[in-house]
Copies of this chain bind each other. A is one copy, B any other.
Amino acid sequence: MEILRKLYEMTAFSNLLDNPAPLFMLAVGVLLLYLGIKKQYEPLLLVPIGFGVILANLPGAGMGIVPGDFIELGDNKYMNLFEIAHEYGIMNFLYYSLIKTGLLPPIIFMGVGALTDFGPMLRNLKLSLFGAAAQLGIFTILLIAIAVGFAPNEAGSLAIIGGADGPTAIYTTIILAPHLLGPIAIAAYSYMALVPVIIPLVVRMTCSSKELKINMKEQDKLYPSKNVIKNMKAVKIAFPIVLGIVIAFFVPTSVPLLGMLLFGNLVKEIGANTLRLTDAASGPIMNAATIFLGLTVGATMTSDVFLDLKTIGIIVGGFFAFAISVFGGIFLVKGYNMFAKKKINPLIGATGLSAVPMASRVANEIALKYDTKNHVLQYCMASNISGVIGSAVAAGVLISFLG
């Protein structure tokens, strides 16, 4: 009997009897895996996050992230990383060295930069402006969240979901409200995956068939642009350097994100001479960062963190942040079209949201539905990419004022 008692103590069943909440969280983890695997919602992130949720909620396994105050010693002193590993295990070691330090989101942004082509944006620079309008969801939801009673820092983290950019949302939340990291990351990636649902929804509610048939290429023929780019390679090399410096003067807090994005992009545009760096940034570094980011962010979702009214607020608020951002972009196009001769398809406003490149693909499909010859993809990519810059800048503003 003694031996059976010891056996029982080794298992996690006593923990479960004390607190069955983890069982619910395991279901959440399985749901996220289902969304990532079967529904193919951003599987690169939702699969590690879902598995991280499961690992964190296996009672007795010690894989859940402990709250930040567990490692604070007061007086601005913290446990060191070795002590964290020793006391709270490898997940907390990874989380407190890679995530809580703010390291991985900029690292992933470096890889994103190395995979980004600013070409479409440079060919249609004017369209970048819609990447600004489509940040409207962020600041509107910030207002509403604060009105509803969220603390300003939490409201900022919730609002940044409207930037439709995973690393930006995570980076901002690490700084403003790390205790909400799990739900916010999941909401951000889930809604990014739901862009094929959200964009058509907002478009249908706001745009007429006539507007959606606006053919950008014909407009370009009617009103040709004066700019020809004679040496695209040189432009693409100079652009990230100059842009990085100038933006930094205005929003220095956005540098860790945007600086790394532009560094990755520069290295890629240089070409063969720095190919080793491009390959590393967009390959092993980014992939490894994605694994550890996903697992550890998922592992922050212990039951006491998730089973909170704020989680519902984040889920609802995140959705509206997305929708309002899409609306913001569309709205600016409509305003522009009222005054300009050269019309713009409102879908190009909708993609200002970012969620690159899925938003552009979705928008292109909508356009083709209304006119099978109306390919808007390249134009959408212009506002789409500028939306990444837009939300990183918005994140910088939130961090400056609420951090």
Contact = CB atoms under 8 A, between A and B. Distances in A.
Copies of this chain, how many?
3
A394 interface: no
A357 interface: no
A263 B281 CA distance: 24
Nearest to A47: B274
A59 B79 CA distance: 30
Contact of A291 (B77, B97, B281): B281
A102 interface: yes
Interface in A234-252: 237, 241, 244-245, 248-252
Nearest to A71: B82
Contact of A256 (B89, B249, B266): B89
A93 B103 contact: yes
Contacts of A286: 276
B97 A51 contact: no
A37 B270 contact: yes
A23 to B, nearest CB: 10
A279 B287 contact: yes
Given A51-B266, A97-B81, A280-B284, A90 B63 contact: no
Contacts of A339: none
A48 B270 CA distance: 12
Interface string A37-49: 1001001100110
Interface residues of A, number: 86
Interface in A25-84: 26, 30, 33, 36-37, 40, 43-44, 47-48, 51, 54-55, 58-63, 71, 76-84
A295 interface: yes
B259 A55 contact: yes
A256 B63 contact: yes
Between A86, A96, A288, the greatest number of chain B beta carbons within 10 A of the residue's beta carbon is seen for A288
Contact of A252 (B58, B80, B86): B58
Nearest to A38: B237
Interface of A: 6, 10-13, 16, 26, 30, 33, 36-37, 40, 43-44, 47-48, 51, 54-55, 58-63, 71, 76-87, 89-90, 93-94, 96-97, 100-103, 106, 110, 237, 241, 244-245, 248-253, 255-256, 259, 263, 266-267, 270, 273-274, 276-277, 279-281, 283-288, 290-291, 295, 397, 400-401
25 contacts: A10-B400, A11-B250, A12-B248, A37-B270, A43-B270, A43-B274, A47-B266, A51-B266, A54-B241, A55-B255, A55-B259, A58-B259, A59-B249, A59-B252, A60-B248, A78-B80, A79-B82, A81-B97, A82-B100, A85-B103, A90-B103, A93-B103, A276-B286, A277-B287, A283-B284
